[in-house]
Amino acid sequence: MAFETINVDVDDHIALIRLNRPDALNALNTQLLKELCQALEEADANEKVRCIIVTGSDKAFAAGADIKEMSGMGFGDVFTINLFADANDRITKIRKPIIAAVSGYALGGGCELAMACDFIIAADTAKFGQPEINLGVIAGLGGTQRLTRFVGKSKSMDMNLTGRFMTAEEAERSGLVSRVVPAKKLIEEATNVAQKIAEKSMMTVMAAKEAVNRSYETTLSEGLLFERRVFHSMFATEDQKEGMTAFLEKRQAQFRDK
């Protein structure tokens, strides 16, 4: 299907999804969120794709949910549509790894979308924030929950209560982003990282993603048990034999996702 608010480019095992509403700084409206979810699901189902990158423009990853679209809504509208919950659930169900490559503004729903991905690579120009407080609302897609887990209560309160922006440098120092790269090299660096992931056993990558995500949903002892069971199950795979044999034979492993 042709998309109007995003561009999708699948090349060499990597799906690059670019948010594309330049006139609104990639604000997340109903159409964009639906198209994004559909593109992620298609990439997840595409056997060729082994890693997904979500990005925006130089100026904005996304400047939040679309304020023009939301401004006239009442409780009944947002409650009934439940769009933000639907988008969150659909993104969370994607099993392949998703890298958010963030340049410029990642605000409100934009910051939350980046956090819903598996990890964030930021350009040195990136600015993160939860400025919903200035609009008379609070975050609605994880800004009070995921952000708190990433950066701790103090910084999360600061961001959510003042609406101030965090620089890429502060975001890396605080654990919100995994690495900061020069803005001009953002897509190149994100693609290199995606390529590295794409070379692994996809089955093992999916298992690792599942195990890390489990740490957010359960107790430490349950999480450790889940991790151990998945670890044990890896010994039933051909890729475990190949990975360990290749190490001992001092050669590159040839994984077959089996």
Q: Should residue 64 be labelled a site residue for ligand CO8 when binding is judged by CB under 6 A? A: yes
The verdict on whether 112 is a catalytic residue reads: yes
Tell me, by CB under 6 A, how many residues bind ligand CO8.
Answer: 23
Q: Given the DSSP bridges, would you call strands 51-55 and 60-62 parallel, antiparallel or unpaired?
A: unpaired
Listed residue (105, 103, 108, 114) closest to 36, CA to CA: 114
Choosing from 60, 64, 100, 112, the catalytic residue is: 112
The verdict on whether 109 is a catalytic residue reads: yes
| Cα torsion 86, 89, 92, 95: sign | negative
Determine the 3-state secondary structure of 79 from DSSP: helix
The verdict on whether 47 is a catalytic residue reads: no
Q: Should residue 132 be labelled a site residue for ligand CO8 when binding is judged by CB under 6 A? A: yes
Instruction: Tell me how far apart the alpha carbons of residues 179 and 196 are, in angstroms, rounded to a whole number.
Output: 15
Locate 62 and state its tokens: 């996304």
Q: Should residue 28 be labelled a site residue for ligand CO8 when binding is judged by CB under 6 A? A: yes
Q: Per CB under 6 A, which region of 8-16, 27-35, 147-155, 246-254 contacts ligand CO8?
A: 27-35
Q: Which of 94, 100, 120, 141 binds ligand CO8 (CB under 6 A)?
A: 141
Edge-to-edge strand ranges of the sheet holding 165-167? 60-62, 105-107, 127-129, 165-167
Listed residue (243, 164, 249) closest to 207, CA to CA: 243
Q: Per CB under 6 A, which region of 12-20, 129-137, 148-156, 196-204 contacts ligand CO8?
A: 129-137
**Which 166-185 positions form the footprint of ligand CO8 (CB under 6 A)?**
none
Choosing from 132, 140, 171, 172, the catalytic residue is: 132
Q: Which of 135, 183, 211, 234 binds ligand CO8 (CB under 6 A)?
A: 135
- Kindly list the catalytic residues: 65, 109, 112, 132
